[in-house]
Each structure stands twice: as structure tokens, then as C-alpha cells.
């Protein structure tokens, strides 16, 4: 990586949490879930899986991995009554990227985010297993809609 100050240990930690953590938890619970009626596996990816922020390359790539992996897992489990969901949060007022994010007016308030996710889950509104809020449709479908370059540039200014 050419970026100054890039730390492979930090990247390894992101991969350990975001990828290996999900794989290990799924592997541990899958035998038990197979025996349960209407079981669900849900993992958190991100719209950044589809349109990355260049300043967080490992994080975005880990979420792209999860998206792909969850599609494959959903297909593998299609004959077993286990629903596989991918929760793809938008930019939410949390401390994920630091204290500034918690009060950033561009970020969705946490309580509004939780309420919308719960509504989508209660209504079963998660096509293709993706729990995706309306505010992230533009990023999720940027490539399909021919807006990838414009949105990428807006998210990653020079």
C-alpha cells in the first residue's frame, strides 16, 4: 500500500473482526441453527462494500467480502430453513470513525436507524437478503445506475 502511515497490523485487526469474526461465529452457531425452525443469520456489511471510501480500504474490502460470502452462504443454505440476511447500515451517528461522527448532521440519527431497520425486518422487506435503508440505495445501485464515478468522486475528494 502506498499510503503514508498505513499499518498492516490495523488491517489485520479489521480482517480479524469483520471477516474471521463473522465466519467463526457462523461456524459455531450453524449446527444449532439448522435444528431451529425459522432461524436467521444476520451479518453487518456496508454500502461501502459497493462504493468504497478510499481512506478506509481494508474496512470497505472486508465488507465487500462479507457481501459475497453471505450470497454464497444464502445459496448453500437455500434448502435448509435458515434465512441469511445482510444488514447494510448507512452513515449513522456512532463513534465508528471517531467522536465527530456521533454528532455529524450528515449521519443518520442512531434511534432513527434502529427504528427503520426494525420496520424493514418486521415487514420482511429485504430483497435478496439485503436489509438496506432507502438512504443507501444510491450507493448500493451506483454502478447499475451509471452513477458510480460521480458518487465515488463525491465520497473521495482530492
Residues 6+ apart with CB under 8 A from 5: none
Cα angle, residue 131 at apex, residues 19 and 44 outer, rounded to 5°: 20
Is 91 labeled as catalytic in the residue annotation? no
Are 132 and 140 contacting, i.e. CB atoms less than 8 angstroms apart?
A: yes
CA distance linking residue 103 with residue 75, whole number of Å:
39
- 59, 91, 113, 148: which is the annotated catalytic residue? 59
| Residue in 107, 1, 16 with CA at minimum distance from that of residue 56 | 1
- Is there a contact between 62 and 15 (Cβ–Cβ < 8 Å)? yes
Give the span between the Cα atoms of 19 and 22, in whole angstroms. 5
Q: Which residues belong to the active site? A: 59
Amino acid at each position: 500500500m502506498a499510503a503514508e502511515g498505513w499499518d498492516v497490523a490495523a488491517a489485520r485487526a479489521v480482517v480479524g473482526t469483520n471477516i474471521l469474526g463473522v465466519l467463526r461465529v457462523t461456524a459455531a452457531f450453524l449446527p444449532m441453527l439448522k435444528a431451529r425452525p425459522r432461524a436467521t443469520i444476520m451479518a453487518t456489511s456496508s454500502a461501502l462494500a459497493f462504493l468504497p471510501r478510499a481512506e478506509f480500504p481494508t474496512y470497505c474490502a472486508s465488507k465487500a467480502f462479507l457481501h459475497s460470502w453471505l450470497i454464497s452462504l444464502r445459496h448453500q443454505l437455500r434448502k435448509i430453513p435458515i434465512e441469511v440476511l445482510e444488514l447494510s447500515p448507512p452513515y449513522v451517528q456512532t463513534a465508528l470513525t471517531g467522536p465527530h461522527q456521533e454528532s455529524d448532521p450528515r449521519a443518520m440519527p442512531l434511534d432513527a436507524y434502529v427504528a427503520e431497520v426494525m420496520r424493514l425486518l418486521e415487514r420482511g422487506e429485504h430483497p435478496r437478503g439485503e436489509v438496506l435503508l432507502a438512504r443507501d440505495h444510491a450507493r448500493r445501485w451506483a454502478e447499475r445506475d451509471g452513477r458510480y464515478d460521480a458518487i465515488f468522486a463525491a465520497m473521495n475528494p482530492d
